[in-house]
Chains A and B, each alone.
Chain A
Amino acid sequence: MTRIVVVTSGKGGVGKTTSSASFASGLALRGFKTAVIDFDVGLRNLDLIMGCERRVVYDLVNVIQGEANLHQALIKDKHCENLFVLPASQTRDKDALTEEGVEKVLNDLKQMGFDYVVCDSPAGIERGAVMALTFADEALIVTNPEVSSIRDSDRILGILQSKSRRAKEGQEAVKEHLVITRYSAKRVDEGEMLSYKDVQELLRVPLLGVIPESETVLQASNAGSPVIHNKESDAAEAYEDLVARFLGETREMRFVSYEKPGILKRIFGGA
């Protein structure tokens, strides 16, 4: 049974694509056959984060318009055996995404025996974003601990409730998960940032994971390798926890509390 998971946020630049890449990679590392689709037609990025930009021949729009089949367009990931990337088109505009077309692609992926299809949504609440969430069974709502990001996430939750196929057909609602990214426990401690508890209270969605702000995320993006593969990074561990929780395991929230460096550490520097 294929589960379709949309990664969405409303606001741009909060870490949707980074989260999609690491989440999809994490599922594949656990042995699930996973596809990750870039819905950001015209502004494709996922291929860069996944490091497969030089292997893009066909894209989502080509498949929707029948110019290529899925086998031709799916790019096998360089790290994971079970992971495939379906890139967005850089040259078309988002009107090329039709509901029938997207549904057909997703149905074909189901036929091909994928366990998970991760849909990386573009920012905004327009066509691309709506197409990405229309067929979702579950949703990862990516939010920064910041008021405008929270409001936009709230808005996209409303759209999920009204425009998803599940909502329209009166089926069981899309299962919502909250993912807080770019979290700095230090700045929360200093009162400069909303805590993850504040964010969760405002959005009232079950918390799936808190990803700490980390330099390794940018390095990973530039290197074209999802951060979850960088074993030394806090962000990688946080994404691994997130995937485990998504799969039903219980993991304690890490990287959410800040301890002031002790006097020895201040004198002798961090080890």
Chain B
Amino acid sequence: MAKPIEFKAGSLHAMSAVLREIDNVRLADALQVMLGGIGEFFAGEPAVIDVTQVTQFPTRIDWPGLQSLLRRYGLQPVALRGAPEALHAGARKAGLAILDGLDKEPQLPVTPATETPPAPEPVAAPAPSRGSPMVIDRTIRSGQQIYARGSDLIVLGAVSNGAEVIADGNVHCYGPLRGRALAGASGERSARIFSSNFGPELIAVAGVYRTFEQGIPQALAGRAVQARLQGEGEQASLLLETLITD
């Protein structure tokens, strides 16, 4: 007879929202800047709120506020990682699972099995798998936005001022890049931006961004340039290099 309920161990692929501070107002601002206020930027992916990098915790945290902020961008917060014990009760009450201690050593339910199951082979973290790239033939105009979810984005026209091109993978621009380009939008730090005629308003890789208030450096303006991340954590910055194309 089939049991009405069964428990199985499984793994869940989730986005990590790594916070460096917990202040909903500042987070809202930062998300606005990063994602340009695009509602539903994500597609309802489950997310773990990771606060391991937070150094100062407020005494009370507005979890529902934080959750609704993430939901506004299409993330579904399901769990919390790295918070001090004092905050666990509040987070649980808000419906977040506490992952600390769980995900390091998965606690298997003790079953009266006679045989110990063979330990699973350690699997190397898979290389970022991507769909085939999205190719846009035309010029992307001010106010338009293109998002290549889970793939590279190749733009053959120009990206105008006030336009935005976003990819989870790399962004390649063959026409002049004058708007915003964001690569590694779901956090892939190895993503890059390639431009054959460099002149953007903003570029970002995995959330690390750079604007050009003082204008594009002379050595890069109008040239073929790639942008990629260098350094780790807080020190991460965008490295811009001209490309030799002939």
Asked if A and B are interacting partners, one says yes
Are B157 and A151 neighbours in the complex by a CB distance under 8 Å?
no
Partner of B158, one of A151, A159, A161, A204: A204
CB contact list, B119-173 vs A, under 8 A: 138-144, 157-158, 160-163
Q: Which residue of A lies closest to B140 (CB)?
A: A158
Chain A proximity of B202: nearest CB distance (Å): 16
Are A151 and B139 neighbours in the complex by a CB distance under 8 Å?
no
Residues of B close to A155: CB separation below 8 A: 141-143, 162
Q: Does A73 contact B (CB under 8 A)?
A: no
In the bound complex, what is the Cα–Cα distance between A84 and B177 (angstroms)?
A: 44
Are B138 and A151 neighbours in the complex by a CB distance under 8 Å?
no
Per the CB 8 Å criterion, the residue count for chain B at the interface is 15
Are A204 and B157 neighbours in the complex by a CB distance under 8 Å?
yes
Are A158 and B142 neighbours in the complex by a CB distance under 8 Å?
yes
Are B157 and A158 neighbours in the complex by a CB distance under 8 Å?
no
B10-38 Cβ-contact flags toward A at 8 Å (1 or 0) = 00000000000000000000000000000
In the bound complex, what is the Cα–Cα distance between A36 and B158 (angstroms)?
A: 33
Best-surrounded residue of B139, B160, B162 (most CB of chain A within 10 A): B160
Q: Does A235 contact B (CB under 8 A)?
A: no
Q: Does A38 contact B (CB under 8 A)?
A: no
In the bound complex, what is the Cα–Cα distance between A142 and B45 (angstroms)?
A: 44
Q: Which residue of B lies closest to A154 (CB)?
A: B142
Known: A151-B162, A155-B162. A204 touches B139 (CB 8 A): yes
In the bound complex, what is the Cα–Cα distance between A181 and B163 (angstroms)?
A: 25
Chain B proximity of A156: nearest CB distance (Å): 8
Residues of B close to A158: CB separation below 8 A: 140-144, 163
Are B143 and A161 neighbours in the complex by a CB distance under 8 Å?
no
Q: Does A86 contact B (CB under 8 A)?
A: no
Q: Does A157 contact B (CB under 8 A)?
A: yes
Q: Which residue of B lies closest to A125 (CB)?
A: B143
Residues of A close to B139: CB separation below 8 A: 157, 204
In the bound complex, what is the Cα–Cα distance between A157 and B139 (angstroms)?
A: 10
In the bound complex, what is the Cα–Cα distance between A260 and B11 (angstroms)?
A: 76
Q: Which residue of A lies closest to B139 (CB)?
A: A204
Residues of B close to A161: CB separation below 8 A: 138, 141, 144
Chain B proximity of A164: nearest CB distance (Å): 13
In the bound complex, what is the Cα–Cα distance between A154 and B157 (angstroms)?
A: 13
A97-141 Cβ-contact flags toward B at 8 Å (1 or 0) = 000000000000000000000000000000000000000000000
Q: Which residue of A lies closest to B138 (CB)?
A: A161
In the bound complex, what is the Cα–Cα distance between A159 and B144 (angstroms)?
A: 9
Chain B proximity of A178: nearest CB distance (Å): 13
In the bound complex, what is the Cα–Cα distance between A151 and B63 (angstroms)?
A: 41
Best-surrounded residue of A154, A202, A204 (most CB of chain B within 10 A): A154
In the bound complex, what is the Cα–Cα distance between A202 and B178 (angstroms)?
A: 9
Chain B proximity of A124: nearest CB distance (Å): 13
Residues of B close to A159: CB separation below 8 A: 143
Residues of B close to A204: CB separation below 8 A: 139, 157-158, 175
Chain B proximity of A46: nearest CB distance (Å): 27
Residues of A close to B142: CB separation below 8 A: 151-152, 154-155, 158
A148-190 Cβ-contact flags toward B at 8 Å (1 or 0) = 0001101101110110000000000000000000000000000
Residues of B close to A162: CB separation below 8 A: 144
Task: Add 19 more A-B contacts to A154-B160, A155-B143 (CB < 8 A).
Answer: A151-B142, A151-B160, A151-B162, A154-B142, A154-B162, A154-B163, A155-B142, A158-B141, A158-B143, A158-B144, A158-B163, A159-B143, A161-B141, A161-B144, A162-B144, A202-B178, A204-B139, A204-B157, A204-B175
25 A-B residue pairings within 8 Å (CB atoms) = A151-B142, A151-B160, A151-B161, A152-B142, A154-B142, A154-B160, A154-B162, A154-B163, A155-B141, A155-B142, A155-B143, A155-B162, A158-B140, A158-B142, A158-B143, A158-B144, A159-B143, A161-B138, A161-B141, A161-B144, A162-B144, A202-B160, A204-B157, A204-B158, A204-B175
Across the A-B interface, the 5 shortest Cβ-Cβ residue pairs = A158-B141, A154-B142, A155-B142, A158-B144, A154-B160
